[in-house]
Chains A and B, each alone.
Chain A
Amino acid sequence: MSNERQRPSAPKSASIILHIVLAMLYLPIIVMLLGAVIQRVDGAWQFTFHWINEVVTDAHLMDALLNSMIVALAASLLSTVVGTLGALAAVKSSKTLRDMLAGMSLISLIFPEIVFALALLSWFFLLHVPLGLPTVIIAHVSFSLSYVMMTVGARLATLDKSFEDAGRDLGASEWQILKSVTIPLLKPAVVGGFILSFLLSFDDFLITYFVNGVGTDTLPIKLYSAMKMGISPKLNALSSIMFLISLIAMIFFFRSASFRVLFENNGGPQNGKDE
């Protein structure tokens, strides 16, 4: 930033609105977290692990957790590999290919989830692919792919070309340069893309809801159906556990350099369409 000296401050009202927004976002979550571990017994507040325990010993919920983990890990691994290759291809290929890749990733960023959900459902139906974990994984890769390409692409754009040139001068083949120079330099962005797609997949509800088979519910699906019945301390505990899992993944994401690249230099999380 060029003008890093004191910026004239915004009026007090702007700052108040900022803090109201933060309160609106966080107060419900804090209440939910407290509701999972605190209960009222005879008019006094008490700390309890009872509800957490209920969730952890619920075999159905643990199955759903396992499904969520399998899906999120498989989907994020696949989309990291395919997305990183795609981002590399986008800078190294001819203009036509580059435009095609950019167009494709733009489509998957701007189309609403629901359209993909039913498009994929119809496609699987037509191909007679039975719905289940594999179809959920495929669907998750489809929507997280663009995010990986964007994260890695943003880093690639700022990469110093002289490293690759040095490799070339030393007689390395393109493949060797890619393997020993470019990919190691991209590692923070690749890790960031992996965590981001893990988060997107672990949290996804709508697409999973469409392409999910019988008996392969993920945690968000379980929470959704349970929530239709109303709220309860056990659901507080379940949501809190899910929230903490995402939070841990998120802390890794914020610490990875890719977060700053994505949000600060790019002007927005989905700013691919400016280019």
Chain B
Amino acid sequence: MKGLRWLPLPALIWFGLFIAVPLLLVFVVSFATRGTYGGVEWTWTFDNYIKIFSSSYVLIFFESIKLATVTTVGCAVIGVFVAWAMATATPSRRYLYLCLLALPFLTNLIIRIYALRVFLGYEGPVQSVLTMLGIPFDPFAFSQGQSLVLYGMITTYLPFMIFPLYGAFEKFDFNLVEAAQDLGAGPWKCLFSVILPNLKRPLINGSVLVFIPAMGEYVIPDLLGGAKTMLFGNLITERFLKSRDWPQGAALSVLLIAVLLLVVFISMRTERKGE
């Protein structure tokens, strides 16, 4: 190791300077006061936190938790079936499916939302088909709204759930399923009594990976939700960029971080208990 002692330095300095210090700064700013023209004045106060619990922020906060939870559960239910189907396909198909699911995960979210709006929008294929079939529908519901946000969230975060589940299926001993089948178990019985008990950990991991970004999501509700859907990520952004009330925005972020750390902490504890 002589002569290579500097090796960790670049990464440590970068992490320190551009991740650790800025995050600590958010914490510090959250106790400061808003300047008259935006910006920050270093007068210490708890007001920013008190304000969170005495205003509509709390409602937005719980609304976000609800949406993130529904997204997580939706991803988990769909994810189990998708990963199961993937893992039992032929090996070459398995790799194809893996690539096909990773591809959207690596393309621009804005592009995917744009494509979704083209797809569902006015004169788009979905509305055209519905009109052709004579099925009545509300065109407005296809341009923005809560269900559209949920659709966007689930399709966006599904890969985070599928990959850990698929990884677990790859290591899963399918002899167990065969044994269960020989003993007369149907597919549902196999799923609930044989497969799911072995998927606890990847399900928890996947849920954390979905819940955390879903909680802080800004783009999807902003572009698909319309004016009525305000979520926590939008609230923080609005405070920071539009009202320029940084201390308030920082306090809201600290609350967000606290909740997310709690989620990670709980998931780690349940993991340890499972052993």
Interface residues of A (CB under 8 A from B): 1, 3-4, 7-11, 13-15, 17-18, 21-22, 24-29, 31-32, 35, 81-83, 85-86, 88-90, 92-93, 97, 100-101, 104-105, 107-108, 110-116, 118-123, 125-126, 138-139, 141-142, 145, 149, 173-175, 178, 196, 199, 202-203, 205-206, 210, 220, 223-224, 227-228, 231, 235-236, 239, 242-243, 246-247, 250, 253-254, 259, 263-264, 266-271, 273-274
Contact = CB atoms under 8 A, between A and B. Distances in A.
Interface string B115-128: 11111110011000
A115 B256 CA distance: 9
Nearest to A243: B111
Residue in A97, A175, A231 whose Cβ sees the most chain B Cβ within 10 Å: A231
A138 to B, nearest CB: 6
A248 to B, nearest CB: 12
A141 B81 contact: no
A253 B103 CA distance: 10
Contacts of A83: 11
Interface string B237-275: 100110000100110010011001000100000000000
Contact of A175 (B3, B23, B253, B260): B3
Contacts of B116: 28
A262 to B, nearest CB: 9
Interface in B117-158: 117-121, 124-125, 155, 158
Contacts of A31: 115, 118-119, 124-125
Contacts of B177: 7-8
Contact of B159 (A243, A269, A274): A269
Interface of B is mostly: helix
Contacts, number: 297
Given A27-B125, A115-B23, 8 more contacts: A10-B84, A18-B81, A31-B119, A81-B10, A86-B10, A92-B7, A110-B260, A114-B256
Nearest to B171: A267
B198 interface: no
B244 to A, nearest CB: 11
Interface of B: 1-4, 7-8, 10-12, 14-16, 18-23, 25-26, 29, 39-40, 78, 81-82, 84-89, 91, 97-121, 124-125, 155, 158-160, 163-164, 167-168, 170-171, 173-175, 177-178, 181, 187-188, 202, 205-206, 208-209, 212-213, 215-219, 223, 233, 236-237, 240-241, 246, 249-250, 253, 256-257, 260, 264
A11 B241 CA distance: 50
B253 A89 contact: no
A141 B205 contact: no
A270 B160 contact: yes
A142 B257 contact: no
Contacts of A22: 97, 100-101
Residue in A118, A121, A142 whose Cβ sees the most chain B Cβ within 10 Å: A118
A178 B89 CA distance: 41
A165 to B, nearest CB: 14
Given A227-B223, A231-B117, A123 B25 contact: yes
Contact of B108 (A92, A210, A243, A269): A243
A268 B206 contact: yes
A224 B110 contact: yes
Contacts of B117: 227, 231
A259 B138 CA distance: 43
